[in-house]
Structure 1
Amino acid sequence: MKLFGREPALVIATISAALSLLVTFNFGLSAEQSGAIVAVISAVFAAATAAVTRPIAPSAFTGLVAAVAALLAAYGMHLAPETIGSLNAVVLAVLGLLTRGQVSPTPAGAPVRGV
């Protein structure tokens, strides 16, 4: 299975990073709100990556790390929304590249099974 002619793990990580960056464009959100939105984006897109790749564990771990990093940046370190989005984009890009080497796309039409 390919998305936009590319491997799904990289495409989904790129879209997630772009949405996380979009959150930082001065929409009047507080650092905590931005962090929460970025964490949700990271978690949802990690679940999507896990659904289209095997094994599931690397994708799930990537999402967990990205979501925790966004939440720590917002609630633990009290960084600006711009910094939270940028930090999450970098974390997603690096982890997306690392994950890609450990997962493969599920065959088209193959049933999705648990771990």
Structure 2
Amino acid sequence: MRFFGREPVVVLNALSAVLGLVVSLGITSLTAEQSGAIVAAVSAILGAIAAAMTRPIAPQAFTAVVAAGAVLVATFGYEVSQETVGAINTLVLAGLTLLTRAQVTPSSPSAPTGPAGV
């Protein structure tokens, strides 16, 4: 997966550097916390994109996006309750389950490898 012909980590590091420079020069009203939250959210989104392209899909990447989004909106002044974050995570996981159900098969229990009763 590439963005602008580059690896995602290169794009993320460039975004982080640009935001750091913009904040340190006072060009914008963003604070260091806000720019850090933006970089964290972009990092989580890139991770979720990578997870969506990988099999089997890792649900943790999508819950990380929800958590990073909650931090992002909190740094801009909108407080998100833990209950709301939990409800959004549940919704995301339910949607992920519906989307990936065709790709998942139940495993059969393996036969015991040693003699019984030992």
- TM-score w.r.t. the length of structure 2 is 0.39
Between the two structures, name the one with larger relative contact order (CA 8 Å, sep ≥ 6): 1
Q: Give me the TM-score of the superposition, normalised by structure 1.
A: 0.39
